[in-house]
Amino acid sequence: MLTTHSFRKRLLVAGLVTAFAAIPMAQAAAQGSPAQQAMSQSESNRTVPDKVADTWITTKVKSEFAASKHVKATDISVSTTDGVVTLTGTVATAREKNKAIHIAHKIKGVKSVNASGLTVGSTKS
């Protein structure tokens, strides 16, 4: 049986996933813009499906962090390039860092997780 708190949390996560799902489509639509044409050569060689997949992975990792009791999602930045998830920021404990890495690894399409920019230390409250 779902508690009201659990239901609200699941509803929030579902809303976040839905909201972030629109981002890949906006990026694909902007493909021909001057800003996109100014991209670096290596970035411009990536196909739209690759970019959409990376954006989906980033969104899914962020939403899983938000749903986790063990990871403070607001203190971790997530980016994805070619299936490699990069985590940066500060976490309170080594356990929280390991949990963040584990969550990111579980997402479909993730090839590897780079957490070298995720430091353990005091976080701002």
What pLDDT sits at residue 40?
47
What pLDDT sits at residue 36?
47
pLDDT band at 46 (very low <50, low <70, confident <90, very high): low
Which residues fall within 8 angstroms of residue 104, CB to CB, at 6 or more apart?
61, 64, 78, 85, 87, 110, 113
Question: What pLDDT digit, counting tens, does each position of 49-96 carry?
Answer: 678 899 999 999 999 999 999 898 888 999 999 999 999 999 999 999
Q: Determine what percent of the chain is predicted with pLDDT higher than 70.
A: 62
Is the per-residue pLDDT at 19 higher than 90?
no
- Computed over every residue of the chain, the mean pLDDT equals 79
For residues 22 and 56, give the distance between their C-alpha atoms in angstroms, rounded to a whole number.
Answer: 10
For residues 77 and 93, give the distance between their C-alpha atoms in angstroms, rounded to a whole number.
Answer: 16
Pick from 100, 53, 98, 51: nearest CA to 77: 100
**Stronger pLDDT, 43 or 113, i.e. the higher one:** 113
Question: Phi and psi (nearest 5°) for 112?
Answer: -160, 165
